[in-house]
Amino acid sequence: MPDVDSERGRTVLTRHVVPLSGLVARGLDVPTALLALRDTRGLAALDSAGGAPRRWSIVAFDPLEDLTYSRDDGRDLADVDRALGRLSFDGDEPPGPFGGGFVGALAYELGVRGERLDLPPPAWPQPVVAGGLYGDWIAIEHAPDGSVADADLVLSSGTGVESIESRSRELLDRLEGAVAARGATDPAAYLNGEPAFCSGAASRHVEPEEHRARIERVREFIGEGEVYQANLAHRLTATVEADALEIYAALRESNPAPYMGYLDVALPDGARGAVVSSSPELLVEIGANGSGQRVARTRPIKGTAGRGATPAEDAARRAALLASEKDRAELAMIVDLERNDLGRVAVPGGVEVSGFPTLESYASVHHLVADVQAILRDDVSALDVLASLFPGGSITGAPKLRSMEVIAELEREGRGFFTGTLGFAGADGRAAFNILIRTLVHRTRLDGTLEVSFHVGGGITWGSDPADEDRETMLKAEGMLAALRRAESAPGGSLAGTPSGDRSGTPPGVLPRVG
Spatial separation of the C-alpha atoms in residues 125 and 446, rounded to whole Å: 14
CB of 498 closer than 8 Å to CB of 246? yes
Does the annotation count 302 as an active-site position?
Answer: yes
Q: Cis link prior to 357 (omega < 30° from 0)?
A: yes
> How many beta carbons lie within 10 A of that of residue 163, not counting itself?
14
DSSP for 129-159, please give it: EEEEEE--EEEEEEPTTSSEEEEEEEEEESS
Q: Which amino acid is at 414?
A: G
3-state secondary structure (DSSP) of residue 200? coil
Spatial separation of the C-alpha atoms in residues 355 and 345, rounded to whole Å: 22
Taken in order 288, 291, 292, 295, is the CA torsion positive or negative? negative
Burial degree of 186 (CB within 10 A; 0-12, 13-18, 19+): exposed
Length in residues, the chain: 515
Q: Cis link prior to 268 (omega < 30° from 0)?
A: no
Spatial separation of the C-alpha atoms in residues 512 and 36, rounded to whole Å: 22
Catalytic residue, candidates 285, 302, 472, 488: 302
Q: Cis link prior to 31 (omega < 30° from 0)?
A: no
Residue partners of 397: CB distance under 8 A and separation at least 6: 227, 228, 229, 230, 231, 403, 404, 406, 407, 459, 460
The CA-CA-CA angle for residues 278, 281, 286, to 5°, reads 120
Taken in order 174, 180, 184, 185, is the CA torsion positive or negative? positive
Does the annotation count 476 as an active-site position?
Answer: no
Taken in order 301, 307, 313, 314, is the CA torsion positive or negative? positive
Catalytic residue, candidates 109, 253, 281, 330: 281
Spatial separation of the C-alpha atoms in residues 138 and 36, rounded to whole Å: 11
Q: Which of 198, 121, 219 is nearest to 462 (CA)?
A: 219
Active site residues: 281, 302
